[in-house]
Amino acid sequence: MVAGSVSGDTLRYVTTNSGKVHEAQSYLDSDVVESLSYDYTEIQATSLRPIATTGAHEAYQYAGSPVLVDDAGLFIDGFDGFPGPYSAFAENTLGIETIQRVAETELDAPRSASFRCVLGYCDGEAIESSTNEYTDTIIGSDAPPVKLFTGEVSGQIVSPRGDGGFGYDPIFEHNGMTLAERDAADKNDISHRGRALKSFAEWFQTRWFINMHVWKSSLFWR
Ligand code: ITT
């Protein structure tokens, strides 16, 4: 993916987070997807879906071409899901070490938590309606429809380990390894983002074929 460039009908993966770009790059075909560093407004909400929906609308208005936005968060069960949608704020103010220490002090082991990612796709065109646990079509009155793809991974909060990944990865353990102990491809195999990207890629392959009349046999698959 090429950061910041804008051309034709290319799909833009919109984020200011280079860690997300690195993981998406390891999954999506760079002939079809470019990254676009644009800081869309994140509304205050108690879940990720409305943030991804409004973000996709704003990013689509900005880019004027198909966009995919990515909103993610860490939900700690013993804290009723905090920091959840406030994960970026909590990381920037408290820092992940403090969050881990508070979890260790206040909660009994295992300190269970989950990572969630919601991808929001918008291209200004109609999108068939669907609703299930992992995909959803949001059809508003004025704004164009947004298709949502959700991925989740469960694990527990542990003392920091590993040098890879970004954000909360060092303190989130799944199957005996923190996400920071995996490379991008290994993390995508089990992660919230990897699962959402898989679900998106399967759907988008069909949409691309139908709407753009372009077929690339290698589209999206590693
Ligand atoms: P954009 O909104 O520009 O995409 P952001 O970093 O603000 O970038 P989010 O609001 O989705 O993105 O991120 C919420 C927080 O969760 C932020 O502190 C991230 O570092 C962290 N985060 C997101 N995905 C993560 C992942 O896969 N592993 C670890 N931390 C992650």
Residue showing tokens 């102990």: 181
Give me ligand 1 centre to Cα 88, in Å: 6
pTM of the model: 0.90
Q: Which residue owns the Cα nearest ligand 1 atom 24?
A: 72
- pLDDT of residue 213 exceeding 50: no
Q: Say yes or no: CB of residue 152 within 6 Å of ligand 1.
A: no
pLDDT, tens digit, for every residue of 149-161? 999 999 999 999 9
The residues that are catalytic are: 71
Q: Say yes or no: CB of residue 83 within 6 Å of ligand 1.
A: no
pLDDT, tens digit, for every residue of 9-34? 689 999 999 999 999 988 887 777 89
Give me ligand 1 centre to Cα 30, in Å: 22
**22-26, 143-147, 150-154, 206-210: which has the minimum mean pLDDT?**
206-210
Q: Which residue owns the Cα nearest ligand 1 atom 7?
A: 88
The closest of 142, 166, 170 to 158, measured between CA atoms, is 170
What domains can be seen in the chain, in order of their start residue?
Answer: 11-220 (3.90.950.10)
d(CA 178, CA 99): 16
pLDDT, tens digit, for every residue of 50-82? 999 999 999 999 999 999 999 999 999 999 999
CB-CB neighbours of 168 under 10 Å: 25
Residue showing tokens 């991925």: 151
The closest of 63, 61, 55, 54 to 35, measured between CA atoms, is 63
**Alpha helices, DSSP H only, in the chain?**
18-25, 48-63, 87-93, 96-106, 184-190, 192-207
Q: Which residue owns the Cα nearest ligand 1 atom 28?
A: 169
Q: Give the mutation target among 168, 177, 183 for probing the ligand 1 site: most ligand atoms within 8 A of CB.
A: 168
d(CA 153, CA 97): 21
Give me ligand 1 centre to Cα 217, in Å: 31
Give me ligand 1 centre to Cα 11, in Å: 20
